[in-house]
Structure 1
Amino acid sequence: MSLPIVHHADYDADSVPDRHRFPMRKYSLVAELLRTRGEAMTVPQHAPQRWLNLAHDPDYVTAVLTSSVDAKTARRIGFEMTPAIAARTCASVGGTCLAARLALDHGAAVTLAGGSHHASYEGGAGFCVFNDVAVAARVMLEEGHVRQVAVIDCDVHHGDGTARIFADDRRVFTASIHCEDNWPLEKPPSDLDVGLDKETGDEGYLEALEGFVSAVFERTSPDIVFYNAGVDPHADDRLGRLCLSDDGLKTRDRIVAEACARRAVPIVGVLGGGYSSDAMAVARRHVFMVDALQKVAAVSA
């Protein structure tokens, strides 16, 4: 059985130019790469406000949906808060929610967006408007599809927003492996944090990752895993400060995917960050995670 791949045209907001530090065009490029090799896409609905309110302040949600976010919050996010950005983030959240449902049936699923882990209950930050993984986890829990969730966050930046949202929610185990000497400066504790020294390369990273992933499953027994596969640990990333190669990223994705497969835990892949100036190079690296989860779906079939 093939891996379910979720994509919406709204993932790519035209209002964000290529010169922006956040290469928005990468989302359409990833979809193009996968379509070129014959992959089919499933289109999600935009997340309704009632879902967004499960993880965010309803007043903030309303401000985003009506393009009335205050200037200070918009600066913290890094985007002008336009209707196109609102549509994009609602599509992204909807995509992660759909991928979660599909993962329960197929063993794995991926959405070609998501991983907006800096958004907290109060509001967005760091190019993250709504925390799609947090919303999807709450939707799955509230609808009774799962009882325990784990978030394995391998983006180079600490998953601070996710940690804050679930600080008092024992149903969700949050785990982040990241570059310690990197943004955000304040890193509220996840349930499990591994902070790596800057310039850590493949060998040191993968050794730490093996222990990190093992510790997640020693400390929790999730019904579903959300995997943030940000490619910003790559050596060429402008915001990363780690030194992984393409092969290092491929091995990372394989380790996480296989850990879930061995335990028969459904896994949801989200793209996370990637900030190299070459948007196509970023897109190709994001495909590594799709390939790793494709093997999980094939085994589950």
Structure 2
Amino acid sequence: MVKIAFDPCYIQPLPEGHRFPMQKYELIPEQLLHEGYITENNLFSPKECSREVVLWTHDAHYFDKLVQQTLTASEQRKIGFPQSPSLTHRELVIAQGTIDCCYHAMEQGVALNVAGGTHHAFADRGEGFCLLNDMAVAANYLLQKKLASRILIIDLDVHQGNGTASIFQHEERVFTFSMHGAHNYPFHKEQSNLDVPLTDGTDTLTYLQLLHQHLPRLLEEVQPDFAFYLSGVDILNTDKFGKLKVTPEGCRERDSYVFQLLKQKGIPVTVAMGGGYSPDVRTIVTAHCHTFKLAMDLY
């Protein structure tokens, strides 16, 4: 049974003004349940990630600031959220959810976190609505526990995974792959192991051709025994900030292609949703739900 990490703290409470883009975390499982794609048995609620595990990735001084609510005004502006205990709790639960998904993926082939993909968080600071880097925390957990020896992070969010690239810049056991808008946030890019910058207006055909060009080769060269997939839907042509022209059908084909390649090679994968900022929340939820449906159908 494919397992899905979900907790009410993904949604509530949220800082004023950020309710709309976060509605998807509540609506995705509701829609999947309504359509009969999942049952309550597919869902599980993570606990908080422990300090010990977080510090395998993040700086202790920064983590203590999150817990003690002592971030400076400047640090909060870079994150984009005002600090609050509930927000720190939320990030700890998301990180543990991604770790828990790894165990389920090793059993089932795939597991998905309704939230996650907080790839702008660096070891010593947060940025871009990301406080803790859940995939980095989970990847380091797998390495520490000797559950994986070679990890591939496939980041197909429209924004570069700058925090992830920075965290693993000297870690040879983790290969970071990011396909992202060349002229999109973050405006100062870090160096992933492989970056594929996309010009504004990149269409479905071009996008998929680039993915087909790079991903099979990476799987052969890297030979990962575990993968993380950040399946942001901010690549859509309807997205307010994405600047790309990928259709919903193209987004589904992207997900299907990633899942099929990984399954063919027997590589377990943990999936996190990442970004999505189309004006109509139904567009966002539908696109994310297709990711879940494809995983459910294939696995």
Q: What is the TM-score with the length of structure 2 in the denominator? A: 0.95
- Answering whether residue 153 of structure 2 is matched by residue 155 of structure 1, we say no
Match of 1:20 among 3, 18, 21: 18
Deviations 1:63-120 (A, max 9, x none): 1122221111110010011111111111111110110111001111111010000101
Equivalents in 2 of 1:80, 1:243: separation in Å?
A: 33
SS in 2 for 1:24: helix
- For 1:16, the aligned partner's letter is P
Is 1:106 paired with 2:108? yes
Query: Which residue matches 1:124?
Result: 126
Query: How far, CA to CA, are the matches of 2:194 and 2:20 in structure 1?
Result: 27
**Gapped runs of 5+ residues in structure 2?**
none
CA distance in 2, matches of 1:274, 1:148: 29
Check 1:223–1:22 CA distance in 2 against 1; reply closer, same or farther (3 A cut): farther
Q: Pick the aligned partner of 2:30 from 29, 32, 40.
A: 32
Spell out, residue by residue over 1:37-68, the C-alpha distance to the aligned partner (whole angstroms, 9 max, x if none).
Answer: 34230111111111111111111111112222
Partner Cα distance (1:168, 1:13) in 2? 36
Check whether the contact 1:269–1:289 (CA below 8 A) recurs between aligned residues: no
Q: CA 1:22/1:197 → structure 2, altered by over 3 Å: closer, same or farther?
A: farther
Aligned-partner Cα distance in 2 for 1:288–1:58: 38
Residue matched to 1:45: 47
Give the % identical residues: 33
The question of 1:244 aligning with 2:246 is answered yes
Query: Which residue of the partner structure matches residue 205 of structure 1?
Result: 207
CA shift in 2, pair 1:170/1:121, >3 Å: same
Contact 2:231 2:272 in 1 (8 A): yes
Partner of 2:7: 8
Structure 2 counterpart of 1:226: 228
> Quick check: 1:142 aligned with 2:140?
no
Aligned to 1:287: 289
CA distance in 2, matches of 1:52, 1:74: 20
1:152 is paired with a residue whose SS is strand
Aligned residues, how many? 295
Task: Summarize the Cα distance change of 1:154–1:21 in structure 2 as closer, same or farther, 3 Å threshold.
Answer: farther
Maintained 8 Å contact 1:114/1:270 = yes
Does the 8 Å contact 2:4/2:113 carry over to 1? Answer: yes
Give the aligned partner of residue 91 of structure 1. 93
Match of 1:174 among 167, 173, 176: 176
Closer/same/farther in 2, CA of residues 22 and 94 from structure 1, 3 Å limit:
farther
2:2/2:104 contact within 8 Å kept: no
Residue 217 in 1 paired to residue 219 in 2? Answer: yes
Cα drift, residue 8 of structure 1:
1.0
Amino acid at match of 1:187: K
1:219, CA displacement in angstroms? 2.2
| Cα displacement (A) at 1:145 | 0.9
- Residue 123 of structure 1 aligns to which amino acid in structure 2? R
Question: Is the partner of 2:43 in helix, strand or coil?
Answer: coil
- 8 Å contact kept, 1:177–1:212: no
- Look up the match of 1:75: 77
State the alpha-carbon separation in 2 of the partners of residues 195 and 33 from structure 1. 33
Q: What is the alpha-carbon distance in structure 2 between the residues aligned to residue 37 and residue 48 of structure 1? A: 35
Specify the SS of the correspondent of 2:266: coil
**Residue 295 of structure 1, CA deviation:** 3.0
Give the Cα–Cα distance (whole angstroms) in 2 for the partners of residues 249 and 189 of structure 1: 25
Q: CA deviation at 1:21?
A: 8.7
CA–CA separation in structure 1 for the residues paired with 2:88 and 2:119: 17
CA distance in 2, matches of 1:62, 1:68: 8
Q: Deviations over 1:157-193 (max 9, x none)?
A: 0111000000000110100001111111111111111
Deviates more, 1:215-224 or 1:99-108: 215-224
